[in-house]
Amino acid sequence: MTLLKKLQWSIGLLLFFFVLPVIAGQLPFNKQASTPIKPPEDKQVVFAATNLPEQTALELTNEQTNEQTNVQDPFKVLLLFTHSQEAYQPMVKAVSGKAEVYDDKTNIFNLQDAVTKHFSMNGIQTDVLDVDVMKVMKAEGKTFPQAYNTVRPYLEKRLQEQSYNLVIDLHRDSAQRNATTITHNNESYARVAIVVGAEHKNYRWNTAYAESLSVAMNDIVPKVSRGVISKSGDNVDGRYNQDLAKEMIIIELGGIDNTEEELNRTIAVIGKAISKTFVTESNS
């Protein structure tokens, strides 16, 4: 072999070993193919809680809004006393020693706190037309038959300012004990009569309210309501200011001989009957 051929052989051998790793790297196999590849682990991302005052206030506002959406407006009653100084003899006698049926201090007007309390216990909001009508009449020199005209502007103004679900003009009947008292479960109650004037446009509406309330009261205490009395004709008012509101009635609460305890028991019955008849119905 000549020197030239030996040199060519040596160069070719060197080139073979130089390019061998390069060629091997291009071949379609992986030296680590026998080693299983682990899938990536799922990692739970935890976000920090938001404690910004604005966020807390927004959440609170949302909660309050949701609560308010489910809250009904309260059932509102307006209470007035056209014959504000009508009195009950046992109550007047306990204070002054005299058995009077009219008194400027101890009278039906003083029952407003008891009515408000019992009504509130039954979910009823009570506003009182705080006018001693008979005191105003005396100051203005008016006679008894002018009572409804005397209270009318006060009532009209209030009804223009606010709306009510029921308006009750509370009176005391002049009848004696045997007609105005009933016993139920060994407890005595002052009976009521509900009066509606029949000579005005709201007559049928007022009557419907009166009859519903009367039935509900008798469901609680049988015969505690003497029923609904419709009045019209000569020598009666005929409207009793009920033309001012479809939801207005007169309640004659007991008579001249009823005691404070009997009146309170019946006021409780009235509150329950209103709740049963009107409040529950309006929220259903």
Q: Mean pLDDT, to the nearest integer, of 217-222?
A: 98
Q: What is the CA radius of gyration of the chain?
A: 44
pLDDT in tens, 52-96: 343 343 334 334 433 443 457 899 999 999 999 999 999 999 999
Please tell me the least confidently modeled range out of 84-98, 103-117, 170-184, 230-244.
Answer: 230-244
Contacts with 125 (C-beta within 8 Å, 6 or more apart), sequence order = 74, 75, 76, 77, 119
C-alpha distance from residue 254 to each of 136, 148, 259 (Å): 25, 20, 9
Under the banding of pLDDT at 50, 70 and 90, the label for residue 164 is very high
Nearest Cα residue to 156 out of 267, 232, 239: 239
Over 70: is that where the pLDDT of 15 sits?
A: no
Other Cβ atoms less than 10 A from the Cβ of 43: the count is 6
Tokens of residue 30, six digits: 């992986």
Residue with tokens 């196999």: 29
Q: What percent of the chain has a predicted confidence (pLDDT) above 90?
A: 70
Q: Mean pLDDT, to the nearest integer, of 256-282?
A: 92
Per-residue model confidence (pLDDT) at position 73: 83
**Helix 260-274 / helix 203-220 crossing angle, nearest 10 deg:** 110
**Contact by Cβ (8 Å): 131, 82:** no
Question: How far apart (Å, rounded) are the C-alpha atoms in residues 73 and 275?
Answer: 14
Q: Mean pLDDT, to the nearest integer, of 180-193?
A: 98
Over 90: is that where the pLDDT of 43 sits?
A: no
Residue with tokens 């709201």: 202
Q: Mean pLDDT, to the nearest integer, of 31-51?
A: 36
pLDDT in tens, 94-130: 999 998 999 999 999 999 999 999 999 999 999 999 9
**What string of DSSP letters covers the chain?**
--HHHHHHHHHHHHHHHHHHHHHHHTSS--TTTTSPPPPPPP----PPPP--HHHHHHHHHHHHHHHHHTPPPPEEEEEE-TTTTB--HHHHHHHHS---SB-SSSSGGGGHHHHHHHHHHTTEEEEE----HHHHHHHHT--GGGHHHHHHHHHHHHHHH---SEEEEEE-----HHHHEEEETTEEEE-EEEEEESSSTTHHHHHHHHHHHHHHHHHHSTT-EEEEEEE-STTS-SSTTGGG-TTEEEEEES-TT--HHHHHHHHHHHHHHHIIIIIHHHH-
- Any idea how long the chain is? 284
Question: How far apart (Å, rounded) are the C-alpha atoms in residues 161 and 169?
Answer: 18
Q: Strands 192-197 and 248-253, how do they pair?
A: antiparallel
Per-residue model confidence (pLDDT) at position 61: 35
For residues 140 and 233, which has the higher predicted lDDT (pLDDT)?
140
Per-residue model confidence (pLDDT) at position 208: 96
This prediction has a pTM of 0.74
Q: What is the mean pLDDT of the chain?
A: 82
Q: Mean pLDDT, to the nearest integer, of 126-136?
A: 97
229 DSSP β-pair partners: 195
Other Cβ atoms less than 10 A from the Cβ of 203: the count is 19
